[in-house]
């Protein structure tokens, strides 16, 4: 009798939005500006560490978190630059990514982008709609 094999396939949740931010300031200054001008409460969390197997290089990217319990949203400010390269090399013109998880609508994202553009240390901010599956996997941690 043949043995039956059942495979459990778990797909990671990719229900998040990404805003690209260009700013010449450091990550801690940017998170401070979010806290001051938007009323958020970002705090430093553990760095995102990625091991590039082909080059055997370890890359570390700073991460700041904020949880909006009233609106059931989680924000993560992630640097795109490290000493050894970029988190997403195809988007070298972006300095930071703002990942928004939870029940966010396009309207709330667009309003947030508008508010971000008004912060003087931010050069530009825009919603990233077209991310490849490979690049989306980078943001699942």
Q: Per-domain residue ranges for the chain?
A: 16-138
- Percent of the chain at pLDDT > 90 equals 52
pLDDT tens-digit series, residues 64-79? 999 999 888 999 999 9
Whole-prediction pTM: 0.83
For residue 103, pLDDT beyond 60:
yes
For residue 139, pLDDT beyond 90:
no
CATH of domain 16-138: 3.30.310
Provide the sign of the torsion angle of the four alpha carbons 121, 126, 95, 58, taken in this order: positive
pLDDT tens-digit series, residues 7-57? 765 555 557 899 999 999 999 999 999 999 999 999 999 998 888 766 678
What are the strands, taking DSSP E only, across 69-135? 73-79, 81-82, 85-86, 96-102, 124-128
Is the CB of residue 22 less than 8 Å from the CB of residue 97? no
Region 117-138: mean pLDDT is 83
Altogether, the residues listed in the chain come to a count of 141
For the chain, what is the mean pLDDT? 86
Q: Locate 87 and state its tokens.
A: 């988190």
């Amino acid at each position: 009798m043949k043995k039956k094999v059942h495979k459990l396939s778990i797909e990671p949740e990719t229900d998040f939005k990404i805003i690209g931010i260009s700013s010449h300031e450091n990550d801690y200054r940017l998170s401070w500006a979010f806290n001051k001008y938007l009323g958020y409460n970002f705090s430093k969390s553990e760095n995102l560490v990625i091991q590039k197997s082909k080059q055997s290089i370890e890359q570390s990217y700073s991460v700041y978190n904020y949880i909006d319990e009233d609106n059931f949203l989680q924000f993560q400010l992630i640097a795109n630059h490290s000493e050894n390269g970029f988190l997403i090399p195809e988007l070298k013109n972006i300095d930071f990514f703002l990942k928004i998880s939870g029940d966010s609508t396009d309207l709330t994202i667009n309003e947030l982008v508008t508010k971000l553009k008004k912060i003087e240390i931010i050069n530009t901010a825009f919603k990233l709609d077209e991310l490849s599956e490979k690049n989306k996997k980078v943001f699942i941690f």
